[in-house]
Structure 1
Amino acid sequence: MTAVLDRAQMLERAWAAATRVVDPELPMLTLADLGVLREVTLDEDGTVVAAITPTYSGCPAMATMRDDLQRELQEAGFPAVRIRIALEPAWTTDWISPEGRAALAAAGISPPGPAPAHTGPVAIRLGPTRRDVRCPQCGSADVALSSEFGSTACKAMYQCRSCLEPFDHVKEI
C-alpha cells in the first residue's frame, strides 16, 4: 500500500531534490550552496515552482541550471515543474554558504570575501579591484593578480608568490 504524501512532505521531497543540483561552472557547489536556489514551493495544483537567481546579468549558465533543476525535480517524481527566475534581490557572493566556501577552497578556488556594500551610484574604477585573497593551496596572502578574467566571467586569475601555484578567485559581487 502506497502512502499519500501531504503537501509538507511533498515540499520537503521537492526541496531535497532541488538541493542536489550542482552548478555547471562550479560543480563542487550545489545551487543551494551557491545561493542561487532561492525557494521551492508548491502551487495549488501541485506544480513545483523553484526560483533561481542569476549570479550576474547574462550569466550563460542559467539555462543549464534551469534545465538541470527541472530534470532533477521530474526524476524525483514531480511531473509538473516550473522554474522561475528571481531578479530581486540581486544575487551576492555573500549568499554562498559556509559549506560552499569550504568546497571552493578544497577544489583550489579562492572563495570570495565579503561583497562590497553600495548605497547610491557605483563609482567606475579603471584599475584592478583590490581584494583580500589568499592562496587556496598554501594559505599565503602574498598573491598577484594575473588577469581580471578567469575561467569564467565571475572569477579572476591569481598566482601565489609563495608556492607559485596559479588559482581562480571568485569575484565579490
Structure 2
Amino acid sequence: MVTVLASAETRRARRIAEQVPDPEMPMLTLADLGVLRDVEVGPDGTVVASLTPTYSGCPAMAEMRAEVAARLRDAGFARVEIRTVLDPAWTTDWITPDGRRKLAEHGIAPPGAAPRHAPGPVPLTLAPLRHAVACPQCGSADTEETSRFAATSCKALWRCRACREPFEYVKEI
C-alpha cells in the first residue's frame, strides 16, 4: 500500500515539474526541452527532481531550480531537493517532438540531429560547418547564419533569403 501511495505521489510530483516553463524559451516546458531528467519521492516524502543544463554554466539553471522547487512546495511537498545531473551531458536530441513543434510555431528553427562522434578524441574542424536550416516562417532552405550567438548561448541568429525574415535557431549539441 505504501509503494502505491509513493508511486502516485511520484507521478503527481513529476506532472508538476514537467509543467515548469523554460525561463529563456517559455513556450517550452522543462520536459519539452529535455532538461527535466527525473522526479522521485523518497520514503520520507522528499521530492528529488534532477535537471541537466543545456550548457555547462547555463545561467538559466538557477531560475529552473528555483521554479521547480517553488511549484513543488506550492503543491504541498514540504521537502524538495533539486539535483544537477551532468552525465550524460544534455543534447538537443532530448527536445521532444512537441517541443520542436512549439519552437517552430514561435518562429525559432528547431535543431536537427545532434552531431555524432566515434569514441575517443573529438575531431577538430577548422572550417565552419555548413548545413541547411529551414526558415520557420516560410520553410525555405535558402537561409544564412548572421551571428553564431543570439539572446541565449544555445541559439544562433539566421535570416531567410526567400522571405527576408530573421529568426533564431537552436544549435545542435
In the alignment, which residue of structure 2 is the partner of 1:113?
A: 112
Q: 1:171: Cα distance to partner?
A: 0.2
Q: 1:68: Cα distance to partner?
A: 0.6
Query: 2 CA distance for matches of 1:172 and 1:159?
Result: 18
In the alignment, which residue of structure 2 is the partner of 1:18?
A: 17
In the alignment, which residue of structure 1 is the partner of 2:100?
A: 101
After the TM superposition, which of the residue ranges 54-63 and 115-124 deviates more from structure 2? 115-124
1:35 aligns with 2:18: no
Q: Where do 5+ consecutive residues of structure 1 fail to align? A: none
Query: 1 CA distance for matches of 2:143 and 2:69?
Result: 40
Structure 1 letter corresponding to 2:75: A
In the alignment, which residue of structure 2 is the partner of 1:130?
A: 130
Task: Tell me if structure 2 keeps the 8 A contact 1:110–1:167.
Answer: yes
Query: 2 CA distance for matches of 1:142 and 1:172?
Result: 19
Percentage identity across aligned positions?
A: 59
In the alignment, which residue of structure 1 is the partner of 2:84?
A: 85
Q: 1:132: Cα distance to partner?
A: 2.9
Q: Where do 5+ consecutive residues of structure 2 fail to align? A: none
Q: 1:133: Cα distance to partner?
A: 0.6
Task: Tell me if structure 2 keeps the 8 A contact 1:113–1:132.
Answer: no
In the alignment, which residue of structure 2 is the partner of 1:139?
A: 139
Q: 1:124: Cα distance to partner?
A: 3.0
Task: Tell me if structure 1 keeps the 8 A contact 2:6–2:43.
Answer: no
| TM-score (structure 1 length as normaliser) | 0.94
Report the count of equivalent residues. Answer: 169
Task: Tell me if structure 2 keeps the 8 A contact 1:94–1:115.
Answer: yes
Q: Deviations over 1:65-88 (max 9, x none)?
A: 000110011111111100000111
Quote the RMSD (CA, aligned, Å): 1.2
Q: 1:131: Cα distance to partner?
A: 2.8
| TM-score (structure 2 length as normaliser) | 0.94
In the alignment, which residue of structure 2 is the partner of 1:159?
A: 159
In the alignment, which residue of structure 2 is the partner of 1:76?
A: 75
